[in-house]
Chains A and B, each alone.
Chain A
Amino acid sequence: MNLKLKVWRQRGSGDRGRLVEYEAKNISPDVSFLEMLDIVNEELTRKNVEPVAFDHDCREGICGTCSLMVNGIAHGPRRATTACQLHLRHFKDGDTITIEPWHAKAFPVIKDLVVDRSAFDRIVQAGGFISVNTGGVPEANTIPVPKRTADRAMDAAACIGCGACVASCKNASAMLFVAAKVSHLALLPQGQAEKKERVQKMVAQMDKEGFGACTNQYECEAVCPKEISVSFIAKMNREYLKSSI
């Protein structure tokens, strides 16, 4: 199939960035979105044009590195699917596809479609962990966790930190990400000791990084490749307000 691409090109954080048109010709509908970009890049290299920089790692939908805004939707039109797991069969021959990086003040563009998401790392460093003493590994199952609680904690822990929530939010808010991290630890017994401190510090860091505030439109949940529920945002709000009283 043949596609017309409008790709965001930006030399670095100082550059303004613009959309540049490319053709993707004779592409098999079975290739993934990233493979299609690989093919386009090979063609560009042959023509002595600088290839388009984009982020990727596992290409299996588990690492959260790929980060493409496809036609205005984070990770493209498929629900619960990362850009690397999106296949071209979901597009029509002759389609025009606009590809942009995540746009947010807290995610500065490094180059083209690659953004710096270390703001997320700093939020996790602020409190998204449990402090344990080193020593022998404790016996598994010594601390009982009810199945339902364990399941909910796992639902929150499914977050791969890709940043699609920030990218899709009209306020570039990171609340779904922070809520997932706060909740998964707050649900488990191991996370109880630092529960109050954690939510306070993580929210403070989130604000410091320049993310916006949630206006409860739930675009984040709709684009999240791991379908993290916005109920976790309510949980984070609850934890934050309780720990502030």
Chain B
Amino acid sequence: MCFERLKSTVGRKAVMAVSGLILLLFVAGHMIGNLQVFLGQEALNSYADHLQSLPVLLWPVRLFLLLVLLLHMAVSISLAWENKTARPVPYAYQDTVQAGYVSRTMVVSGVVIFTFIVYHLLHFTFGTTHPQYFHLTDSKGRHDVYSMVILSFRDLWVSGSYVAAMAVLCAHLSHGIQSLFQSLGFNNEKSRPFFEKLAIAASIMIFIGNSFIPFAVLMGFLKLPSGVI
């Protein structure tokens, strides 16, 4: 597909849809990986260790995801800007028939999610925000991800902000997932209600799956292994 066509409004919508889908698949995979925390310290730490032991794969994937995220953001900014300038004089009396709050605030929720991603990387990937939990090792000498997660989430502010960010992500996805089918042209009268329901179900699942980890830590379902602090 030539660049000229991708630059059109319809083309850029397709770019939003495809990049969004890639990010969604990552979010789902990331969640499934993290849920191994419920299998215990051994499972989670060896999973993390496996990922880290494949730098040839890990770094290209990380770089690819970063580029996809930046593309998703850049295209959305260009579209949002054009959409704004398409109506220079606003209506004095504003009303909508059906457009929901979530769909009208995708840019805002997107910015919140991006801020969260930065914080999340500083927290668990670079160990900047909680360095005291970042250098723990387990009995096999591996990076002790399990204890790091539990110790971090014992702080109400940390868990609270994670759950809040997941709620925003859930809202963003509930509009994003159904939109991607429309933008890529898969919709018709019969499929639309189905995709709308699918979008809501999938985003709620992502919210519950991710939020369950800080929730379980706070409620004491997930405990520290003996010997840590």
Q: Please give, as numbers and ranges, the residues of chain A lying within 8 Å of B50 by CB-CB distance.
A: none
A219 to B8, CA, bound (A): 22
A210 within 8 A of B: yes
Least CB separation from A167: chain B residue: B91
A51 within 8 A of B: no
Contact with A along B107-120 (1 / 0, CB 8 A): 00000000000000
Looking at A29-37, A42-50, A126-134, A235-243, the stretch in contact with chain B turns out to be A235-243
A190 within 8 A of B: no
Residue in B11, B14, B87 whose CB lies within 8 Å of A104:
B87
A208 to B186, CA, bound (A): 26
Question: 15 extra interchain contacts, Cβ-Cβ under 8 A, other than A72-B91, A212-B86, A213-B10?
Answer: A72-B93, A72-B95, A73-B95, A103-B87, A104-B86, A170-B83, A172-B87, A203-B8, A213-B83, A216-B175, A230-B182, A238-B184, A241-B185, A242-B185, A244-B1
A207 near B5 with CB under 8 A, answer no
The 10 closest A-B pairs by CB, nearest first: A238-B185, A72-B95, A212-B86, A171-B83, A234-B187, A213-B9, A217-B99, A212-B83, A172-B86, A222-B97
A182 to B141, CA, bound (A): 64
A106 within 8 A of B: yes
Least CB separation from B192: chain A residue: A231
Chain A proximity of B31: nearest CB distance (Å): 25
A237 near B89 with CB under 8 A, answer no
Given known pairs A203-B9, A234-B182, A241-B14, the reply for A215 and B92 (CB within 8 Å) is no
Interface residues on A, range: 35 or more
Q: Please give, as numbers and ranges, the residues of chain A lying within 8 Å of B183 by CB-CB distance.
A: 214, 216, 237
B103 within 8 A of A: yes
B9 near A105 with CB under 8 A, answer no
Q: Please give, as numbers and ranges, the residues of chain A lying within 8 Å of B8 by CB-CB distance.
A: 203-204, 207, 240
Interface size on B, residues (CB 8 A): 47
Is chain A's interface secondary structure helix, strand, loop, or mixed overall?
mixed
A112 to B84, CA, bound (A): 23
A213 near B82 with CB under 8 A, answer yes
A8 to B89, CA, bound (A): 12
B125 within 8 A of A: no
A203 near B10 with CB under 8 A, answer yes
8 examples of A-B residue contacts, CB within 8 angstroms? A72-B94, A98-B92, A104-B87, A213-B9, A213-B82, A230-B192, A237-B182, A238-B186
Within 8 A of B (CB), among A65-109: 69, 71-73, 98, 100, 103-106
A219 to B99, CA, bound (A): 6
Chain A proximity of B10: nearest CB distance (Å): 5
Chain B proximity of A108: nearest CB distance (Å): 10
Least CB separation from B99: chain A residue: A217
Q: Please give, as numbers and ranges, the residues of chain B lying within 8 Å of A214 by CB-CB distance.
A: 9, 13, 182-183
A124 within 8 A of B: no
Within 8 A of A (CB), among B130-166: none
Q: Please give, as numbers and ranges, the residues of chain A lying within 8 Å of B175 by CB-CB distance.
A: 216
Q: Please give, as numbers and ranges, the residues of chain A lying within 8 Å of B187 by CB-CB distance.
A: 230-231, 234
B93 near A71 with CB under 8 A, answer yes
Chain A proximity of B87: nearest CB distance (Å): 4
A100 to B83, CA, bound (A): 20
Within 8 A of A (CB), among B159-204: 175, 178-179, 181-189, 192
B189 near A231 with CB under 8 A, answer yes
B189 near A237 with CB under 8 A, answer no
A212 to B10, CA, bound (A): 10
Least CB separation from A99: chain B residue: B93
Residue in A203, A212, A244 whose CB lies within 8 Å of B2:
A244
A176 within 8 A of B: no
